[in-house]
Structure 1
Amino acid sequence: MKQNENLSALSAAGVSVWLDDLSRDLISSGRLAELVGTRSVVGVTTNPSIFQAALSSGTAYDEQVTSLATQGADVDTVIRTTTTDDVRSACDVLQPVFAASDEVDGRVSIEVDPRLAHDADATVAQAIELWKVVDRPNLLIKIPATIAGLDAIRRVIAEGISVNVTLIFSVERYAQVMQSYLEGLAEAAEKGHDLSTIHSVASFFVSRVDTEIDGRLAKLGTPQALELQGKAALANARLAYAEYLKVFSSGDRFAELAGRGARPQRALWASTGVKNPDYPDTLYVSDLVAPDTVNTMPAATMEAFADHGRVEKDSVIGRAEESAEIFRGLEQVGVDLAEVFAKLEAEGVSKFEVAWAELLQATSEQIDAHKAG
């Protein structure tokens, strides 16, 4: 197999390519292994929406669901078993990448139940349970960056468990996430954990920021407002990366932990599929190239970049002041950024809750059909 040149160039520029998708068919068909060999894929992310789509279509899960139903398993057990089985299998497919990358990549993420997003204690308990059930060192437990999530992140890291922090929208919340990570590492060290085995990424959502802010700018309708459309998401991500550098490249607190084996919490660009057809379909990949980052892409975005993507090596570093100016412009025309980010976080949690409810309903119907049959 030969790697795609565009995606290879992206990887060479320091961006780890992760696939934002997973299903049993993707694993069993060998397609996931093929993407590793031809698309530079070195990681996989999942979320409730992805699992809902996977379990609700096709027949790949029918035999296992029937077997579990025969054993008397309830709907939560069925979902937990099927999803953790898929994630464990994906971890095994990516194990060679994990070993070859000094355990940096080759990672697969699984999310805690989104209904627990505002319950730190329950999130911690389920994170520990998922870590034990999947039982693979290249697993990441996804925890949303809600206020309760910040506490959960610290406590889970302190247990020596690797974490993918999800649903980050603002630079302010991202700064809190990094501090939770550092506090968790310090506690992990006190408990005797090997810090070099604890990994984390911080998933900073991109396209949803443009979608929300562009809509507000369109309603304002002034030339100054319309001029700012399509600029907020990239500016937000670039400001986030500047904060990442402050903490992990020049921060004293991390330097001390790094001396004890700690790894940086890499910035991960999530929600990189372009929603606005007027924008280039590779916008949130080409324009977010920076060392030691991750870009998790839907399959369509990955294929678009493989076909015509370009690597803009100066698309992030050195652009913090330019990005801050964009934010000042947004505030001047009347965009309430604090309200935007609060809304996006609430909607993000809600969307995953809805997907989880749909997954529960579809699985319940399968179990009921078995019982009736």
Structure 2
Amino acid sequence: MTGAAKAVAATQSPLLTMTQTTPTALWNDSADPDELTAATGWGAVGATCNPVIALAAIRSDQERWEGRIRELARDLPTATESEIGWKVVEEVSLEAAALLLPAFERHGGRNGRLSMQTDPRLRRDAMALADQAEHFASLAPNIIVKIPATSVGVVAIEEAAYRGVNINVTVSFSVPQALATGEAIERGLVRREAEGLDVSGIGPVVTIMVGRLDDWLKHVVARDGIEIDPEHLEWAGVAAVKRAYGIFQERGLRARVLAAAYRNQLQWTELVGGDLVLSPPFGWQQKFQASGIEPTSRIDIPVDPETIAALETIEDFRRAYEPDGMTPAEFDDFGATRRTLRQFLGADEELDQLVRDVITPAP
């Protein structure tokens, strides 16, 4: 595409404008091949998969994947439903990873990656998480692996980074989780460097699930009868990302902040301009494309102090916003963490059931 053609395309595509005129990267929060193909046309240079996303991808092409499940069951006669299901997750992920290889090569490994999520049923075993992360990383050169920002996950993240795995921190909603895991990645990389091991081409990211923080605070407000302007609640995730991003820059952490789990337009417009990753679901990308908004750099513009003051009347916002608001030991009991882990565990169970229905159909 010529320079003039790119300029015309950008004026018709807010997301393409963002990726062409700012350091902000766009990743697609889906591994569906049709969605990913469209998103790459808007400048997306990354994508993600997890049990929830894999289920959606399988159901969008169910006849094909049911056939593949039958093949795997025949070829692996002693495999459990879970083992077959995770084989399918791997295959869904690798198809998406192949679509991203050109971007991976173009960006020298910093982008062009497909995120695979470790099995949430391993969440209590740091070495099992690190081992699975290392396995996933071996499947393709552009795999990045999700490990949760829990007390056990922090240990697993450092170990996996030391082993050379590119990490995408997940189940993360807060500034203290982002900082603890960003520092864990840094410790793992420093250990590699001290042993003369390669750290070139690294591309770790630390996710803050902006909308899930908002969701949790809305639940707390309703549960506890807290009086607050509902508009303030739309800014909580944005405020957490802005604060974490600033601290990452100050400390020189090599991982980038990534915003995911979108619930509103602010989670796009307010985070443009920095060297970070925005990973909206495909449906939100379509909304942003149709908005007609010309993205401008706003990452360094603070959230209105009045909004921050209102949000700080909620204890769980203070825990999520202040750098020392939680210790790693407290991450596990944060409401958004429990809620999200249970959803991922539920998706694992649904995947097992889907496989069971295929290989042992009801009479």
Is 2:320 the counterpart of 1:337? no
CA RMSD of aligned residues (A): 2.4
Question: Following superposition of structure 1 onto structure 2, how do residues 252-267 of structure 1 map, counting pairs within 5 Å?
Answer: 264-267=254-257
- Structure 1 residue 209 displacement after superposition: 1.7
Which residue identity does 2:16 align to in structure 1? Answer: S
Which residue identity does 1:129 align to in structure 2? Answer: H
- Structure 1 residue 312 displacement after superposition: 4.6
Which residue identity does 1:113 align to in structure 2? Answer: D
Q: Which residue of the partner structure matches residue 259 of structure 1?
A: none
2:278 counterpart SS class = strand
The answer on whether the counterparts of 1:289 and 1:313 sit within 8 Å (CA) in structure 2 is: yes
TM-score w.r.t. length of structure 2:
0.85
TM-score w.r.t. length of structure 1:
0.83
Query: Deviations along 1:39-91, whole A, 9 cap, x unmatched?
Result: 21211111211112233452121221111111214323322222212222222
The answer on whether the counterparts of 2:82 and 2:351 sit within 8 Å (CA) in structure 1 is: no
Is 2:16 the counterpart of 1:8? yes
1: CA distance, partners of 2:202 / 2:130: 16
1:110 counterpart SS class = strand
Q: Which residue of the partner structure matches residue 260 of structure 1?
A: none
- Structure 1 residue 238 displacement after superposition: 1.2
Q: Which residue of the partner structure matches residue 112 of structure 1?
A: 118
Task: Find 2:109's aligned residue among 103, 106, 113.
Answer: 103
- Structure 1 residue 291 displacement after superposition: 1.9
2: CA distance, partners of 1:17 / 1:305: 12
Task: Find 1:195's aligned residue among 184, 199, 208.
Answer: 199
Deviates more, 1:296-305 or 1:84-93: 84-93
1:88 counterpart SS class = helix
- Structure 1 residue 226 displacement after superposition: 4.9
| Percent identity of equivalent pairs | 26
Aligned length: 338
Query: Deviations along 1:20-53, whole A, 9 cap, x unmatched?
Result: 1123xx2xxx6633432x2212111112111122
- Structure 1 residue 315 displacement after superposition: 2.3
1: CA distance, partners of 2:231 / 2:288: 26
Q: Which residue of the partner structure matches residue 148 of structure 2?
A: 144
1: CA distance, partners of 2:231 / 2:147: 36
2:298 counterpart SS class = coil
Query: Deviations along 1:216-261, whole A, 9 cap, x unmatched?
Result: 4456454x5556332222212211111111122xxxxx5xxxxxxx
The answer on whether the counterparts of 2:49 and 2:117 sit within 8 Å (CA) in structure 1 is: yes
Aligned CA distance change for structure 1 residues 221 and 163 (closer, same or farther; 3 Å): closer
Query: Deviations along 1:329-355, whole A, 9 cap, x unmatched?
Result: 333x35443677711111111110111
2: CA distance, partners of 1:309 / 1:351: 34
1:118 counterpart SS class = coil
2:360 counterpart SS class = helix
Query: Deviations along 1:252-278, whole A, 9 cap, x unmatched?
Result: xx5xxxxxxxxx211100111x2xxxx
Unmatched tracts of structure 2, length 5 or more? 2-8, 321-330
Aligned CA distance change for structure 1 residues 195 and 309 (closer, same or farther; 3 Å): farther
Q: Which residue of the partner structure matches residue 84 of structure 2?
A: 78
Task: Find 1:183's aligned residue among 182, 187, 196.
Answer: 187
2: CA distance, partners of 1:366 / 1:75: 10
The answer on whether the counterparts of 1:217 and 1:229 sit within 8 Å (CA) in structure 2 is: no
- Structure 1 residue 192 displacement after superposition: 2.8
Which residue identity does 1:110 align to in structure 2? Answer: M
Q: Which residue of the partner structure matches residue 55 of structure 2?
A: 52
Which residue identity does 2:359 align to in structure 1? Answer: I
Task: Find 1:292's aligned residue among 275, 296, 303.
Answer: 275
